[in-house]
Structure 1
Amino acid sequence: MYELTHNQAQTIVDRMMKDIPYNINIMDQTGMIIGSGNKGRIGTLHHGALKAIKQGKIVEIHKDEEFVKKGINLPIEMNGHIVGVVGISGEVKETRPFGNLLKSAVILLIDQSIALEKENLKNNLKQEFFSLIIDSDTTYTKELMNQALTYGIQLSKPSQVLYVDSSNEIAEDITVGFPSFKISKTSLCLVIQEADKVEALQQLIRNQNPDALISISKVNDTISEGFLQAKSAMRVLKGFYFNEKTISYSKCEFIADMSKLQKNDTKAERLIHLLEKNDELIKTLQVYLGCNLNANVTAEKLIIHRNTLNYRLNKIHTITGKDPKNILELVELIFMLINRII
């Protein structure tokens, strides 16, 4: 049987008393006041509610007595059970017209609360499942494989993982028909088991979120491997490239894997700290790399003079101690760019 909580009851009372000019009390199935316009009465027994629960019908009290005040008390029934009582204090002839209206509103709000709890439970179960399938230590048991089918995933079938990252909140149902899981409010993971649908899926995402970043794993036997690949590729995309919005793990596999090895490197962390507040220099380095170290093309893309570009590259050298024009030192700067992305 559903049980009303104090928070639910008080929220309903506060909301309804904005429209009804009488004190409202909400009692639980034992007759205890759990929500009231008179906060001092919360936690006390309501004798009118006890009568309504015992008789299973509306109880009208026409005059104040020792333990009860005049008003109307209506039992709240759900699925044949009384889950509480709503009471309105005041002259019965004045409060009676509000009775059924208030009772209906309370039942509606309870229904909404139940629906929300069910949805939260559903989402929690889905999140627990997602946490399992991206864990490399998870074994694909028969039970897990059956659970996966409810989300449209065949764990025995190879798959690709598509990682979407947006600057704004992204809806989980952005791509109807494909299994999707929220990573955060602005990021999403999709499991694709039909290789010929990848391009169409990307276009669908682009149509709804033009600025979203997308990374795509290789085809793998496990979703956990695909997730790691897509996540690593996303870090490369966000750290290494400027103005690029899509990347495949297969195109950056070496640098993505190397960046994972360098993630806890203290030298990389020091370089990150040195440049973390200088967006102009970071952007310059990203464009320089994207232009394959071609200074003329880089200056043109940045819309700056060649001398200005040289000044910025020299400044990077001065700040970090790493020369962008030296290929070995540039590699360290590349890892710095990638590892600054969490």
Structure 2
Amino acid sequence: MKLSKPIAEKVTKEMMKIIPYNINLMDEKGLIIGSGDKKRIGTLHKGASKVIATKSINEIYTEGDGMKPGINEPIVINSEIIGVIGITGHPDEVRPFSKLVGATAKLLIEQETINKKTQNDRIKREKFYYELSHRKTSYDDEFIQQGKMYGIDLTRKCQAILVKGNFNSKAIKTFLDQYRNFSTIDNSKLVLFITEYNNFDEVMTNLLGSKEIERVAIGEKEEFAAISLEQAADALTVGVKIKPSEKVYYYHHLRLFIDLASDRRDHNRSVLSVLDGSGNNQELFHTLQIYVEENGDINNTAKKLKIHRNTLNYRLEKIGDLTGKNPKVILELFELICSIIWYK
């Protein structure tokens, strides 16, 4: 532990609001790092030097040899002098205040140490999960041991669950407190890593039971967590395009379309671009998505869109006119599905 300059400055500033004497705080070498007299900061305090040398309290009753009356007391933590408190004034008057300043300094130093440890632990954890999310080479023993420290067994295959939602809610924070194996991707997405598959159903139940969760995408069980995460990300990207009403997307259900999407041919991507100039792009695009999601069933599609069958048929004809692809012809519908995947 160490008495830092920010803590020394904070202690002197706050204590001098309630103590009518000048306060000096010195580091382990006797240099003044906090003082009511700003001109003295950075200079050597002779009284503090004597305290450090003798490892005892130094009380000065008369002015002389560059020292003023006062009390200089060591700040001792774990049997080590980490600094010295100096209060100017008659020792009998300032002695009680020395204990108060010392106790305040110790509390702040200990709190700073705890904060630093917490921050270091958080950084180490974030670094581990960042590497886990990207690493596609064999896990060495050190990395496996790190995983065990965070409660994840990397000797087993790993499955990634990508979650999109509002993570500021109390319910989600409570869930995450119980389930440690997660990493935040951005403000709206995080990934959970599963190696104990008997927990999968419970995790999914908790996620899907929350109104704060918008989408969940699940990768396969893979040797490398990063591969499963990539699969989950692909499932989310493609799933929201062809199944916009669903909340859960499994990679193995969408693999064909994900493989198609990886090609990204300009021609297929541009098929739906003609809708941009139609003035009702979103309406027609959404109609096509729901039509695909409902397997081309006119009644179910119209019901979900809350429109009349005739209105739906008109929109489908309009899509056909604009794109040159008839949604009611299976091969042309397949082209439109591919276009949805590639679009934007």
- Cα gap change, 1:161/1:21 in structure 2, threshold over 3 Å: closer, same or farther? farther
Asked if structure 1 preserves the Cα contact closer than 8 Å seen for 2:164 and 2:213, the reply is: no
1:332 to 320, 328, 339: 339
Q: Which has the larger radius of gyration?
A: 2
- The aligned residue for residue 215 of structure 1 is 217
CA RMSD of aligned residues (A): 4.3
Secondary structure at the aligned position of 1:252 is classed as helix
Q: Which amino acid aligns with 1:27?
A: M
Give the CA deviation at 1:182.
Answer: 3.6
Give the CA deviation at 1:291.
Answer: 4.6
Give the CA deviation at 1:29.
Answer: 0.4
- The aligned residue for residue 146 of structure 2 is 147
- The aligned residue for residue 105 of structure 2 is 106
Residue 202 (structure 2) pairs with residue 200 (structure 1): yes
Q: Which amino acid aligns with 2:199?
A: K
Which has the larger displacement, 300-309 or 149-158? 300-309
Which has the larger displacement, 240-249 or 156-165? 240-249
- Cα gap change, 1:316/1:131 in structure 2, threshold over 3 Å: closer, same or farther? farther
- The aligned residue for residue 247 of structure 1 is 249
- The aligned residue for residue 84 of structure 1 is 83
Give the CA deviation at 1:31.
Answer: 1.1
Question: In structure 2, how many angstroms separate the alpha carbons of the residues matched to 1:287 and 1:237?
Answer: 12
- Cα gap change, 1:74/1:220 in structure 2, threshold over 3 Å: closer, same or farther? same
- The aligned residue for residue 51 of structure 1 is 50
- The aligned residue for residue 126 of structure 1 is 125
Q: Which amino acid aligns with 1:10?
A: E
- Residues 153-178 of structure 1 show CA distances to partners (whole Å, capped at 9, x for unaligned) of 33232221122233234649716366
Percent same amino acid at aligned positions? 32
Q: Which amino acid aligns with 2:129?
A: F
- Cα gap change, 1:17/1:330 in structure 2, threshold over 3 Å: closer, same or farther? farther
- The aligned residue for residue 226 of structure 1 is 228
Secondary structure at the aligned position of 2:147 is classed as helix
- Cα gap change, 1:38/1:197 in structure 2, threshold over 3 Å: closer, same or farther? same
Taking structure 1 as the reference length, the TM-score comes to 0.74
Give the CA deviation at 1:50.
Answer: 1.8
- Pairs aligned (count): 330
- The aligned residue for residue 24 of structure 2 is 25
Give the CA deviation at 1:299.
Answer: 6.1
Question: In structure 2, how many angstroms separate the alpha carbons of the residues matched to 1:333 and 1:299?
Answer: 20
Taking structure 2 as the reference length, the TM-score comes to 0.74
Secondary structure at the aligned position of 2:75 is classed as strand
Question: In structure 2, how many angstroms separate the alpha carbons of the residues matched to 1:49 and 1:314?
Answer: 90
Asked if structure 1 preserves the Cα contact closer than 8 Å seen for 2:161 and 2:192, the reply is: yes
- The aligned residue for residue 137 of structure 2 is 138
- The aligned residue for residue 340 of structure 1 is none
Q: Which amino acid aligns with 1:331?
A: C
- Cα gap change, 1:105/1:239 in structure 2, threshold over 3 Å: closer, same or farther? farther
- Cα gap change, 1:178/1:167 in structure 2, threshold over 3 Å: closer, same or farther? closer
Give the CA deviation at 1:200.
Answer: 0.8
Give the CA deviation at 1:118.
Answer: 2.0
Q: Which amino acid aligns with 2:4?
A: T
Asked if structure 2 preserves the Cα contact closer than 8 Å seen for 1:24 and 1:89, the reply is: yes
Secondary structure at the aligned position of 2:178 is classed as coil
Asked if structure 2 preserves the Cα contact closer than 8 Å seen for 1:213 and 1:245, the reply is: yes
Give the CA deviation at 1:258.
Answer: 4.1
Secondary structure at the aligned position of 1:134 is classed as helix
- Cα gap change, 1:53/1:251 in structure 2, threshold over 3 Å: closer, same or farther? same
Alignment of 1:256-275 (within 5 A): 256-262=258-264
Instruction: Give the gaps of 5 or more residues in structure 2.
Output: none
Question: In structure 1, how many angstroms separate the alpha carbons of the residues matched to 2:266 and 2:62?
Answer: 75
Asked if structure 2 preserves the Cα contact closer than 8 Å seen for 1:232 and 1:260, the reply is: no
- The aligned residue for residue 34 of structure 1 is 33
Give the CA deviation at 1:205.
Answer: 3.6
Instruction: Give the gaps of 5 or more residues in structure 1.
Output: 338-342
Question: In structure 1, how many angstroms separate the alpha carbons of the residues matched to 2:324 and 2:63?
Answer: 86
- The aligned residue for residue 7 of structure 1 is 6
- Cα gap change, 1:221/1:304 in structure 2, threshold over 3 Å: closer, same or farther? same
- Cα gap change, 1:322/1:84 in structure 2, threshold over 3 Å: closer, same or farther? farther
Q: Which amino acid aligns with 2:343?
A: M
- Residues 90-143 of structure 1 show CA distances to partners (whole Å, capped at 9, x for unaligned) of 554453333222212211221122122222222333333323333344222233
